[in-house]
Amino acid sequence: MSKRINKDWLEETILPLVEKPIRYTGGELNSIVKDHEKCSVRFAYGFPDVYEVGMSHLGTQILYKVVNGAPDYCMERVFCPWVDMQEKMKEADIPLYTLESFTELSEFDFLGFTLQYEMSYTNILSMLDLAHIPFYREDRMGGDYPLVIGGGPCAFNPEPIADFFDLFLIGDAEETILELFALYAKSMEDGKDRVSFLKEACALPGIYVPGFYAASYSPKGAVEEFTPLIPEAPAKVEKSLLKDLETATFPDKPIVPYMDIIHDRIMLEVLRGCTHGCRFCQAGVLYRPVRERSQELLLKQAKDLMKSTGHEDISLTSLSTADHTQLSQLVDELQQTCLGTGVGLSLPSLRVDTFSMGMAKKIASVRKTGLTFAPEAGTQRMRDIINKGVREEDLMTVTEDAFRAGWERLKLYFMIGLPMEQDEDLEGIVHLGNKVIYLGKRVAAEIGSKRRISVTLSASGFVPKPFTPFQWIGQDPLEELQRKQWLIKDKVRTKNLVFNYHNAKVSHIEAAFARGDRRLSKVIVAAHEKGCRYDGWDEFFNYELWQEAFKECGLSSADFAQREFAEEDILPWDFIDTGVRKSYLYEEFMNAKDQALTPDCRDDGCTTCGICMDMDCEMMLQGEVPNEI
pLDDT at 621 over 50: no
What architecture is the 7-238 domain classified under in CATH?
3-Layer(aba) Sandwich (3.40)
Tell me the pLDDT band of 357, cut-offs 50, 70 and 90.
Answer: low
Q: What is the pLDDT of residue 3?
A: 87
**Quick check: 189 and 183 in contact, CB under 8 A?**
no
pLDDT at 613 over 80: no
Sheet strands (E) in 164-269: 167-169, 207-208, 213-217, 223-228, 237-238, 266-269
Q: Which helix (H) or strand (E) holds 308?
A: helix 295-309
Distance (Å, whole) CA 290 – CA 507 = 29
DSSP tag of 208: E
Q: What is the pLDDT of residue 257?
A: 93
pLDDT at 619 over 70: no
Query: Which residues pair with residue 97 across a beta bridge?
Result: 104
Q: What is the pLDDT of residue 369?
A: 52
DSSP codes, 319-362: SSGGG-TTHHHHHHHHHHHHTTTT-EEE-----TTT--HHHHHH
Q: For the residues 507-536, what does the mean pLDDT come to?
A: 98
Q: Which of 184-188, 373-377, 480-484, 506-510 has the lowest mean pLDDT?
A: 373-377
Q: What is the pLDDT of residue 370?
A: 55
Tell me the pLDDT band of 40, cut-offs 50, 70 and 90.
Answer: very high
pLDDT at 620 over 80: no
Sheet strands (E) in 51-180: 73-79, 110-114, 147-151, 167-169
- The model's pLDDT over 104-126, given as tens digits with 9 standing for 90+, comes to 999 999 999 999 999 999 999 99
- The model's pLDDT over 133-175, given as tens digits with 9 standing for 90+, comes to 999 999 999 889 999 999 999 999 999 999 999 999 999 999 9
pLDDT at 600 over 60: yes
**Quick check: 407 and 361 in contact, CB under 8 A?**
no
Rounded to the nearest integer, the mean pLDDT of the chain is: 92
**Quick check: 100 and 77 in contact, CB under 8 A?**
yes
pLDDT at 340 over 90: no
Q: What is the pLDDT of residue 57?
A: 95
DSSP tag of 513: H
The amino acid occupying position 338 is C
Domains in the chain: boundaries:
7-238
- How many C-beta atoms lie closer than 10 Å to residue 426's C-beta? 25
Q: What is the pLDDT of residue 359?
A: 66
Question: Per mean pLDDT, which of 69-78, 442-451, 609-618 is the most reliable?
Answer: 69-78
Q: Which helix (H) or strand (E) holds 412?
A: strand 409-416
Q: What is the pLDDT of residue 365?
A: 52
Q: What is the pLDDT of residue 360?
A: 61
Distance (Å, whole) CA 226 – CA 291 = 33
Q: What is the pLDDT of residue 350?
A: 64
Q: For the residues 359-387, what does the mean pLDDT come to?
A: 78
Distance (Å, whole) CA 380 – CA 375 = 10
Q: For the residues 447-474, what does the mean pLDDT come to?
A: 94
Q: For the residues 366-381, what does the mean pLDDT come to?
A: 79
Residue 460: φ, ψ to 5°: -120, 155
- How many C-beta atoms lie closer than 10 Å to residue 283's C-beta? 16
Of the candidates 98, 175, 174, 180, which has an alpha carbon nearest to the alpha carbon of residue 147? 180
- The model's pLDDT over 175-211, given as tens digits with 9 standing for 90+, comes to 999 999 999 999 999 999 999 999 999 999 999 999 9
Exposed/middle/buried for residue 143 (C-beta within 10 Å: 0-12, 13-18, 19+): exposed
**Quick check: 508 and 495 in contact, CB under 8 A?**
no
pLDDT at 539 over 60: yes
Q: For the residues 418-425, what does the mean pLDDT come to?
A: 98
- The model's pLDDT over 549-586, given as tens digits with 9 standing for 90+, comes to 999 999 999 999 999 999 999 999 999 999 999 999 99
Phi-psi region of 573 (alpha: psi -120 to 50; beta: other; left: phi over 0): alpha
Q: What does the chain come to in residues?
A: 629
Q: For the residues 462-480, what does the mean pLDDT come to?
A: 98
DSSP tag of 14: T
